[in-house]
Structure 1
Amino acid sequence: MNRLRNLLLGGACALSSTAPALAQQAAPKADFHQWAPTPPMGWNSWDCYGPTVTEAETKANADYMAKNLKSSGWEYVVVDIRWYVGNDTAHGYNEKDPAWNIDAYGRFVPAPNRFPSAAGGKGFKPLADYLHAKGLKFGIHLMRGVPVIAVQRKLPIKGTKLTAADIYSPDGQAAWLHDMYTVVPTRPGAQEYYNSLFELYAAWGVDFVKIDDLSEPYHAGEIELIRKAIDRTGRKIVFSMSPGETPIADAKHAQQHANLWRTVGDFWDSWEQLKEHFAVCERWAQYIMPGAWPDADMLPLGRLGIRAERGDDRQTRFTKDEQRTLMTLWSIFRSPLMFGGDLPSSTPATLALITNPRVLAVNRASAHNRQLFRRGDLVGWVADDPKTGDRFLALFNAQDQELAPATDAAASSPLINRQGPQAKLDVDITGAQKLYLNVRDGGDGTAWDHADWLNPTLTNGAGKTLALSTLPWTSATAGWGQATANKSVSGGPLLVAGQTYAAGVGTHANSIIAYDLPAGYTRFTATVGLDQAAAGQNTGGTFQALVFTKSPFRPAPADSVQVPVTLTELGVPRGSRVQDLWSGRALGPLNGDFAPYIRRHGAGFYRISRPAAGK
């Protein structure tokens, strides 16, 4: 990848270059790669309905897709997690008394109170038939492994004399949802169990499976069982692995067994998370392959959070510029496109954003997709049109208002992590009118930086106290989810180092929560801690907490800056024509550097065509 980029920067890559790309190889001769020759495009229920979506809501989104999106290539409708629980809850999971729906062979079936057409043992077949009649495809979410309830009941494995209790291990059980046990791949009955699952799903007419708790950590043995079981059915079921980041050391294995695999954890409408995708996409670009797609995760656009795990009913928090950045990066990276919002609630602007034919064409039919440069927070990507030899160029301005150094803070904690999960802060705020609670990523690369401000208290000289969590903040940002008073950012209690706190604020790095201070208070005290929801995951999180009494930002950069690209970098001749892909406008010939103005957090997207003969 570095060699390829150096060639580009040196101008050695001509517009119609046929030099071998490290990035995109021909797919191995395996039938399943042909089932997703372009990145899958569809809708998934997770971002708006969490684990509680119903049949009526699924059909409403399918109806909208068939009417408004199908002609643009959108075709999959995916019912996400826990469709087999009749009494699941929004903003989390019901693990206290779940109403399971499971068949005699230990296979979950749809909850009929949520999916009425599944009653009488019909499963998802009636819903799949409904979608197929509209020219759409049907997908479901699964958890890796065998149901705990099937193990406890020793339910038989179809076609064998074995039971679920013969193939399981509690080792490796997902820390965040305890529905399943690990299937031990080498045990007799393990393959037969997965075979029975996919026999059932194929009979229902399933076209797509998203299998969770599979990629991080990477479960190669179960992945291979799943691949064999899908192939055995003879049905073209696209296989998506989740969540991420999939270990890059296992990229080749993923290519050989799955149609798509996640490159990140759950992605929400957070600029911090979107900005991280520039580095993520750059490192995964070399593994883009027809039929096997690195997956940058869902598009948290439109109306989100109706009954989701994170946040409240809202329109996406992304600005218009950030929404365009998202669609531009996902398209030139050739990520699968799975819309997360409620489609019937889509505005005309959202519909236009996700149906732009010139932008979607890059996602569906481009080659040699790669980062061209990154100069600080100015980023360029290029790709080629294999039919015309044209070049696609995406330019991004990811500049942020720069944070002040930690030395400017009125107080700062040591690094907070699993080994040192909390620290106390005591700050003199005499004369201050503003208070900023700032949580910064500790730089360990994990996305589990759930931070809790515990018992944040203002005190005056006479000993009078005021709980800061009772005051409204003037603004609040979080790198994931949203800041929440008296709850963790994941919606649970404030739980640090085994102790539960009633008062505080839950947030996630990188985060700034700003308050106007009432007069007369002279001290601020708080304990800051790593929430147990993060401490229990993988390696936990690492962050630093800082308190400012003046703005934690340096002066803001300009709203727009030029992002220059030379003809040599592009590998195109003078006189090449430029088209703006978002607007469709012709921008005229290139006779020197191309240096469009790009808005902060925004993107430009262009097609560059060689001059007509004789010009």
Structure 2
Amino acid sequence: MTGTTRVRALAMAAVGLLIASAIPLLATARPAAASDNGQSVRPAMGWSSWSFVRRTPTEAKLKAQADALVSTGLRDHGFVYVNLDDFWQKCDDNGFVVDSFGRWSVDTAKFPGGIKALADHIHSKGLKFGFYVTPGIAKNAVTRNTPIEGTSYHAKDIADTSKTEKNYNCKNMYYIDYGKPGAQEFVNSWARQFASWGVDYLKIDGVGSADIPDVQAWDKALRASGRPINFALSNNLPVANASTWRQLANSWRTQGDVECYCGPGSNGSGYPLTDWSHVSTRFNSAASWQQHAGPGGWNDLDSLELGNGDQVGLTADQRRSHFTLWAMAASPLLLGTDLTQLDPVDKAMLTNDRLIGVDQDGVAAKRIVNSGVKQVWSKKESDGQYVVALFNTGTSGSASVSVDWSQVGFTGSGDVTDLWSGSHKGVIADSYGATLRPGETRLIRVKPADSLKVSAPSRAEGEQS
């Protein structure tokens, strides 16, 4: 074992022990027909380049964020993926510049060492490397009629030039006709290339119902690549196809981007990264997708915009609610902020292992109260305890939010711990309530009294703040 490999193995073992000690065992009940590729037994955690770096990723920027994951201690709390999103590719007037086998070429001005060198650096830090692609085959590959690696077929043999795929960068991507010989082999060649570069996570973007053949092809290709790769789908996927996404992939974006594109830079880049309206719309999608999440496949609510304080566009209360909803939904936790400028308030949030444990428990919560700005979510973990989140989703005015234990799933009394503060609130009878500021949340763990060695509750009223 090399020194680099040893460092990575030790770091990942430490992360595994930390997460295992912070959370209960996975619940045994799980949705049917999950992907059996062995990936993402728990939701992925890490960082993605899109929100902050946006259209200007470089080797130096990615290395700096990877280094910051380590130096800030976030890696040791489970944030291990460093995901390079779009705009790593080179374009000309006809779309993507391609290599000799019709695959996108790396923009070497941005990544002079190539993608493998970047992945190697990330791996040397005990981290994992994520990458990005969209469905289809590039116009330049078809124009040049590039060969498909390892076959006698060429790009024109598999391209459906009557239809163009969704692409957010160079565009000019044709559909692939998967009824044609060579189509699967083309995707296989791309997956082998990514595996040889050290990719651990692949996001395929611009996916809709019409792209199910592409998702099937990429699922097959990644399994055959010789490397374990976490397979993520994006974005705003239709819930009508949820069972298909779950069977083929490890996560799927349930809505469009969480970014507001309201910053002062080009294409709305820069701070703020998001706003409360973009976050709060996730409450409804999390509720509608809830039944489809479970080990091996997760409802992805998009980037977690914690790390840079108020300038991201959310107050501290809203950021805690943002994190709480993502954790209750068991969404992947992929940070979108600049980790080289980590705000101390946000660092305390992100290193709260009680919150991380709620996300990593393998259970997506149900919404049990939805009344105006008042929402309550609940989930039962495998040890019989419940996690309950109360929210005031409004932007003005306090709200008194309460829930009966019978709505949560048990009756009588419960022993309550506040998960944000870690404070023990004692045994509370019948119901729980809190007065919440606009955008504020309360997150508690409740152990039903029938599992306690006590004869009576010590108090009967809910906490008021």
Measured against the shorter chain, the TM-score band is 0.7 to 0.9
Other-structure match for 2:185: 192
Distance of 2:347 and 2:97 partners within structure 1: 36
Contact 1:84 1:102 in 2 (8 A): no
Question: Which residue in 2 is equivalent to 1:55?
Answer: 59
In structure 2, the residue matched to 1:613 is 453
Q: Which residue of 1 aligns with 2:176?
A: 183
Q: Which amino acid is the alignment partner of residue 598 of structure 1? A: L
Counterpart of 2:143 in structure 1 is 152
Structure 2 runs not aligned, ≥5 long: 1-23, 260-273, 456-465
| Alpha-carbon separation, structure 2, partners of 1:66 and 1:42 | 11
How far 1:129 moved relative to its partner?
1.5
- Name the TM-score, length of structure 2 as normaliser: 0.84
| Bigger strand fraction | 1
Evaluate the alpha carbon distance shift between residue 581 and residue 173 of structure 1 in structure 2; reply closer, same or farther with a 3 A threshold.
same
CA contact (8 A) 2:419 2:444 kept: yes
CA distance in 2, matches of 1:329, 1:133: 33
Structure 1 counterpart of 2:121: 130
**Partner deviation per Cα, 1:14-58 (whole Å, 9 max, x = no partner):** xx9x9996xx32664x541x2110000111111112122111110
Question: Does residue 182 of structure 2 align to residue 173 of structure 1?
Answer: no
Give the aligned partner of residue 491 of structure 1: none
Deviations 1:95-115 (A, max 9, x none): 7587x5532111123222211
Distance in 1 of aligned mates of 2:167 and 2:122? 34
Find out whether 1:82 has 2:78 as its counterpart: no
Query: Deviation of residue 564 (structure 1)?
Result: 1.2
Amino acid at match of 2:50: W
1:111 paired with 2:107, answer yes
How many equivalent residue pairs? Answer: 412
SS of 2:103's equivalent in the other structure is: coil
1:152 to partner: Cα distance: 1.5
In structure 2, the partner of 1:237 is 229
Q: Is 1:375 equivalent to 2:410 in the alignment? A: no
After TM superposition, give the deviation of residue 217 of structure 1 in Å.
Answer: 4.5
Amino acid at match of 2:180: R
Q: Identify the residue that residue 31 of structure 2 maps to in structure 1.
A: 25
Alignment of 1:397-436 (within 5 A): 397-400=392-395
RMSD: 2.3
Shift of 1:372: 1.3
Deviating 4+ runs (over 6 angstroms)? 18-21
Rounded to whole Å, the distance in 1 between the matches of 2:437 and 2:93 is 48
Equivalent position amino acid for 2:59 in 1: E
TM-superposition CA deviations, 1:139-175 (whole Å, max 9, x none): 1111211112111111111112222122112414227
| Aligned AA (2:156) | A
Partner of residue 258, structure 1: 249
Contact preservation (8 Å) 1:27, 1:291: no
SS at match of 1:162: coil
The amino acid of 1:25's aligned partner reads P
* Corresponding residue SS for 2:403: coil
Deviations for 1:206-244, whole angstroms, at most 9, x for unmatched residues? 101111111x34411111111111111131111111111
| Partner residue of 1:204 out of 197, 212, 222 | 197
Give the letter for the 2:165 counterpart.
Q
**2:271 is the counterpart of 1:271:** no
Structure 2 CA distance for partners of 1:294 and 1:366, relative to 1, 3 Å = closer
- Please state if 1:583 is matched with 2:424: no
Equivalent position amino acid for 1:605 in 2 = L
Query: Is residue 141 from structure 1 mapped to residue 132 from structure 2 by the alignment?
Result: yes
Counterpart residue identity of residue 206, structure 1: V
Q: Distance in 2 between matches of 1:363 and 1:19?
A: 13
1:43 paired to 2:47: yes
Question: CA separation of 1:75/1:36 partners in 2, compared to 1, >3 Å: closer, same or farther?
Answer: same
Unaligned runs of 5+ in 1: 1-15, 86-93, 119-123, 305-313, 401-556
State the SS of the aligned residue for 1:38.
Answer: coil
| Secondary structure at the counterpart of residue 273 of structure 1 | helix
Using the size of structure 1 for normalisation, the TM-score is 0.64
The answer on 1:164 being equivalent to 2:155 is: yes
Indicate which of 438, 441, 444 corresponds to 1:603: 441
The corresponding residue for 1:430 is none
Give the match for residue 390 of structure 1.
385
Query: 2:271 corresponds to which residue?
Result: none
CA contact (8 A) 2:167 2:206 kept: no
User: Retained in 1: the 8 A contact 2:89–2:105?
Assistant: yes
Task: Work out whether residues 294 and 364 of structure 2, in 8 Å CA contact, stay in contact via their aligned partners in 1.
Answer: no
Q: Deviations over 1:358-407 (max 9, x none)?
A: 01101001436211121122111001221x3110000111124xxxxxxx
Supply the AA of the counterpart residue of 2:289: W
Distance 2:402 2:359 in 1: 24
Task: Give, in whole Å, the separation in 1 of the partners of 2:52 and 2:28.
Answer: 42
Residues in 1 aligned to 2:134 and 2:65: alpha-carbon distance in whole angstroms = 23
CA distance in 2, matches of 1:392, 1:208: 29
Q: Distance in 1 between matches of 2:289 and 2:218?
A: 23
Q: Note if 1:302 corresponds to 2:302.
A: no
CA distance in 1, matches of 2:107, 2:27: 53
Describe the SS at the equivalent of 1:156: coil
How far, CA to CA, are the matches of 1:319 and 1:376 in structure 2?
Answer: 20
Paired residues of 2:134 and 2:167 also in contact (CA < 8 A): no
C-alpha deviation, 1:614, in angstroms? 3.5
Cα distance between partner residues in 1 of 2:375 and 2:356 = 20
The answer on 1:329 being equivalent to 2:325 is yes
Q: What SS class does the counterpart of residue 127 from structure 1 fall into?
A: helix
Cα deviation digits, residues 485-514 of structure 1 (max 9, x gap): xxxxxxxxxxxxxxxxxxxxxxxxxxxxxx
- On the 8 A contact 1:36/1:259 being kept in 2, the answer is yes
Identity %: 33
